């Protein structure tokens, strides 16, 4: 009588621990939570040497600005709607920006370098004022060379804004060209077939296709005028 074959390792059922109830194994569940959410690192031991008061005073403003900037980065950034954009470009935006300047992440990040350069400029101006005429005075050439760099920076910022506007206009022109091509294909296919009751449906379909780029442009610029604009487009197409 032949002996029974021993089961291969592949045929041996395996135990999958991840199908077990976590409540039955509290120790394992705690270990999983420990792996997923590690405990924070302990605080470093205090330095035996006390911090320099002057250094702490100089780094107080940069540390405060960095803390506020990091906290503002974690906040969600909602996209602008048309109503918010209309409020943003209002004439009162300058007053609103002035009142909210202390909460601006960009302005707070510029506080340390601007303060340092302002202090240096004040020191140079004080030296030039108090120094006698025969003493060595500071040259104004560096300040004269900085003005063209600032002007170029403003020009590049304006060109970047116009580049975004031109990119959006090119995208809309591609949509307009695609709609015109689609309308031509519809008219060609209907002209090749039998004429009859389909003429009214073909005209309505072409009107809808050609009105899509106009509706897209109005919806991106001024949504409240979308219904009026589309109605005027349909009326003009029916008259023509």
What digits encode the pLDDT tens for the residues 28-62? 444 444 444 445 556 656 656 666 666 666 677 67
Coil/strand/helix, residue 149? helix
Cβ(105)–Cβ(69) under 8 Å?
yes
Distance CA(220)–CA(133), nearest Å, equals 63
Scored b (16 or more CB within 10 A) or e, 1-15 reads eeeeeeeeeeeeeee
What digits encode the pLDDT tens for the residues 189-203? 876 665 555 667 787
> Which residues, 6 or more positions from 69, have their beta carbon under 8 angstroms from its beta carbon?
105, 108, 109
Q: Is the dihedral of CA 208, 213, 219, 223 positive or negative?
A: negative
What digits encode the pLDDT tens for the residues 127-163? 888 877 767 777 777 777 887 887 777 777 667 777 8
Name the residue with higher pLDDT: 184 or 74.
184
Most confident of 75-89, 101-115, 175-189: 175-189
- Token pair belonging to 151: 């002007």
How many Cβ atoms sit within 10 Å of the Cβ of residue 137?
13
- Token pair belonging to 75: 């906040």
Is the per-residue pLDDT at 220 higher than 80?
Answer: no
Whether the full predicted model's pTM is greater than 0.95, yes or no, is no
Cβ(61)–Cβ(108) under 8 Å?
no
Distance CA(54)–CA(60), nearest Å, equals 10
Kind plus residue range of the DSSP H or E element containing 210: helix 198-221
Q: How confident is the model at residue 188 (pLDDT cuts 50, 70, 90)?
A: confident
Average pLDDT rounded to a whole number, residues 7-36: 46
Cβ(190)–Cβ(200) under 8 Å?
no
Scored b (16 or more CB within 10 A) or e, 165-203 reads eeeeeeeeeeebeebeeebeeeeeebeeeeeeeeeeebe
């Amino acid at each position: 009588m032949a002996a029974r074959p021993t089961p291969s390792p592949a045929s041996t059922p395996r135990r999958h621990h991840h199908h077990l109830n976590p409540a039955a194994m509290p120790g394992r569940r705690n270990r999983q939570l420990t792996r997923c959410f590690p405990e924070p690192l302990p605080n470093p031991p205090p330095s035996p040497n006390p911090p320099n008061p002057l250094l702490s005073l100089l780094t107080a403003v940069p540390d405060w600005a960095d803390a506020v900037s990091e906290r503002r980065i974690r906040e969600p950034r909602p996209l602008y709607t048309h109503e918010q954009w209309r409020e943003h470009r209002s004439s009162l935006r300058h007053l609103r920006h002035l009142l909210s300047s202390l909460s601006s992440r960009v302005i707070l990040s510029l506080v340390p370098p601007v303060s340092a350069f302002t202090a240096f400029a004040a020191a140079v101006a004080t030296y030039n004022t108090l120094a006698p005429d025969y003493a060595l005075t500071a040259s104004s050439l560096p300040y004269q060379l900085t003005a063209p760099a600032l002007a170029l920076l403003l020009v590049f910022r304006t060109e970047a804004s116009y580049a975004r506007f031109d990119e959006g206009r090119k995208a809309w022109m591609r949509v307009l060209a695609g709609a015109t091509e689609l309308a031509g294909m519809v008219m060609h296919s209907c002209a090749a077939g039998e004429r009859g009751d389909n003429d009214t449906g073909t005209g309505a379909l072409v009107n809808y296709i050609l009105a899509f780029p106009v509706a897209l442009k109005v919806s991106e610029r001024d949504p409240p005028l979308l219904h009026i604009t589309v109605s005027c487009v349909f009326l003009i197409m029916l008259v023509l």
